[in-house]
Structure 1
């Protein structure tokens, strides 16, 4: 009798550990992985896994839950007073958006491009200086960055957007 109760207890512990491990794994999924796994679980009619995955999607506000009570996702570009080159803002904006898309692709996320990635972060990474120190002559470097990265990034990002919108 005692041996049987030990077996039952051992099985219960293993089931709990497996559920905990699965929950931990789900938390580490990128948004894209989460969407793909959800699709597989629904296709396989695995209700328990699908529910866990959908719950995680809801927690993150991604997939079918994207846009629920979320703030607008706009880039904020504050240029210093000394910038008088009228083409500068366009080059800076496009380069910043391209860099944000590259980050989203790296992370596999469907979240707002600019969450946790300010224009100041961008200029510090790409130009090696804060946005407050930008000068008109930096436009050439921003345009070079854009020329180097925009075409490939746009094509890859369209694929990510397609996956994100499919849920």
Structure 2
């Protein structure tokens, strides 16, 4: 059996007139959002990168390049769902993922359980969500952007193995 872990990161600039989407959730009261080719959902994008990294299937840029208009304005949850399908299509089983959102906003604590439930449903495995500020240091601390770091654990059985036994 192959066991792999992956790490992913994502960063987006805060922008006026753009809706805020993080961890598959909408934060309509924020007044600013995350600029990007898609909806700028740093948590979903970082998990995508972690899964793609673990399975050697590329990264967010190679799968959803900005030249590909099909993904322009797409929800981070849709991107994540697509990556989950790619990973499964290669015979990988996702066991879990974790993501940490880094920034002064949005405030994640009150919606952490909702974010975990939303992301876990998309991924088909437990997803842990945490958040932190940088004590007003750096671009995230100055409120210029939001970042996320994610990890994922995947396995794939060797030929002839029943992958259901691995779960």
- TM value normalised by structure 1: 0.29
Q: Which is richer in strand? A: 2
Question: Which structure would you say has the larger RCO, counting Cα contacts within 8 Å and 6 or more residues apart?
Answer: 2
Query: Higher Cα Rg: structure 1 or 2?
Result: 1
Q: Which is richer in helix? A: 1
